[in-house]
Amino acid sequence: MNRFPIALLLLLSLLGAGQEAFSAPLVAPTERYKREMLRLMIAEANHIAAELKLDEQLPITETNLTLVSFVEAGKSYGYVGVFDTRNYAYTFYMKNFGIVCSVIGHKGYQDYIAARTNYVWLISRFDSNRTFRIAMELMQKAGLDAERLNRDCRVRIDFPEEKGLFSHTFSPIYMVTWSSKPYTFRSEGVGGGIEFTEPTRKVRALHVGDLKYNLRKPLETANLMQLLTPENSREAVLYAIEMATNYVRRIEFLSSGDPPESMLRGVWAEYTNAPFPTNVLFHTNAFEVLVRKMRLGQTNATPIKR
């Protein structure tokens, strides 16, 4: 049975985030913005680590971080950055002008090796219904919409360890994956997933592919106008802020980089089930491309008033 590695969970998240980066950044991050985002990210990591009883030394502080990375834009929505502690990697998104965590991955395999050593069960003890219930409970504890994942996706339960056809024992370390129905056995269709050890209910990895499945609420909100001006123009920041609640504006901005329509539709589907706004697409008219980029401040030409 193939392993569903933590790295894959992180990669899927970053691939989804990368779909939002076709255009040049509309607003550049300031030092104030990055400091505030890091503060909010640390607070959110402490919160979810406590909720899930992760093997972390709490509270997490800036001195505990081994890696910090931000997206090169002052964003008002979507993927904003990642950081690592000694034990876990966390991926963060901007939602409702605050920070929420959507991906957690354990670093290293010492805990996995220990669980395989400490828990060796007869195969007759495997209970998929119990495993599924625990996965649901842990996903809901993390603030993820497991009920909607169940409606939208097919569920698959795997063991991360290789097992022969006639094995009589197993270690109760499970991977429960929710895959979009057209992609049940393909990684690009993963809507969410969790890896955990059943006896201790310790989470090794947690992921949701679309923010629509993340019900977490930000602990605090950020004043983006204060954090991003005067280094960026007030008009550009207001436009970026509008994109936090206006899905059409997001597609309008992203389409200025002329990405494939299929990728734009994928980004749209992550946020809303509304019909895709084809009127914002422009792939052949060079003048429309120039005008749109001038409005977004992506050329050296004089900006056009909206």
Residue 269 confidence (pLDDT) above 90: no
Q: How far apart are the first and last CA of the chain?
A: 56
Contacts of 46 (CB under 8 A, 6+ apart): 58, 59, 60
Both 74 and 193 in one domain: the answer is yes
Q: Looking at 197, 213, 229, which one is the last position of a domain?
A: 213
Mean pLDDT value of segment 63-76: 94
Lowest mean pLDDT among 27-41, 152-166, 179-193: 179-193
**So what's the pLDDT on residue 188?**
54
Same domain for 251 and 207: no
Count: domains in the chain: 2
Q: How far is CA 19 from CA 136, 246, 264, 301, in A?
A: 28, 17, 8, 27
pLDDT-wise least confident of 157-166, 173-182, 244-253, 285-294:
285-294
One domain for residues 113 and 262: no
If asked whether residues 162 and 260 sit together in one domain, one would say: no
Establish if 53 belongs to a structural domain.
yes
- Give the pLDDT confidence score for residue 210 in this predicted structure: 82
On the question of pLDDT at 12 being above 80, the answer is: no
Q: For residue 238, is it within any domain?
A: no
Residue carrying structure tokens 């697409």: 281
pLDDT at 296 (0 to 100): 59
Average pLDDT of the residues of the chain: 84
Rounded Cα–Cα distance for residues 168 and 100 (Å): 42
How confident is the model over 163-220, as pLDDT tens digits? Answer: 666 678 999 999 999 988 765 445 456 789 999 999 999 999 999 988 889 999 999 9
* Percentage with pLDDT > 90 across the chain: 61
Sequence-distant (≥ 6) Cβ neighbours of residue 185 within 8 angstroms: 156, 179
Same domain, 137 and 273: no
pLDDT(112) > 50: yes
Same domain, 173 and 98: yes
The model's pTM: 0.82
Same domain, 71 and 195: yes
- 218 domain residue, yes or no: no
Q: Are residues 137 and 264 in the same domain?
A: no
Residues 126-147 have pLDDT tens digits of 999 999 999 999 999 999 999 9
Residue 185 lies in a domain: yes
pLDDT value at residue 305: 41
Let me know whether 208 and 263 are in one domain.
Answer: no
224 falls within a domain: no
Instruction: Tell me what pLDDT residue 58 has.
Output: 96
Q: What is the pLDDT of residue 303?
A: 41
Each residue of 186-205: b (16+ CB within 10 Å) or e? eeebbbbbbbbbbeeebbbb
Residues 262 and 157 in one domain: no
pLDDT digits (tens, 9 = 90+) for 89-109: 999 999 999 999 999 999 999
115: how many CB neighbours lie within 10 A of its CB? 22
Q: Are residues 139 and 97 in the same domain?
A: yes
- What is the percent of the chain with per-residue pLDDT over 70, rounded to a whole number? 79
Q: What angle do CA 280, 148, 181 make, to 5 degrees?
A: 75
Q: Is 80 inside any structural domain?
A: yes
Residue finishing a domain among 163, 198, 213: 213
Residue 25's pLDDT band, with cuts at 50, 70 and 90, is low
Domain's final residue, options 213, 230, 254:
213
Q: What's the domain range around 103?
A: 6-213
Query: Is 260 domain-assigned?
Result: yes
Reply yes or no on whether the pLDDT at 151 is more than 50: yes
Residue 302 within any structural domain of the chain:
no
* 61 plus 132 within the same structural domain: yes
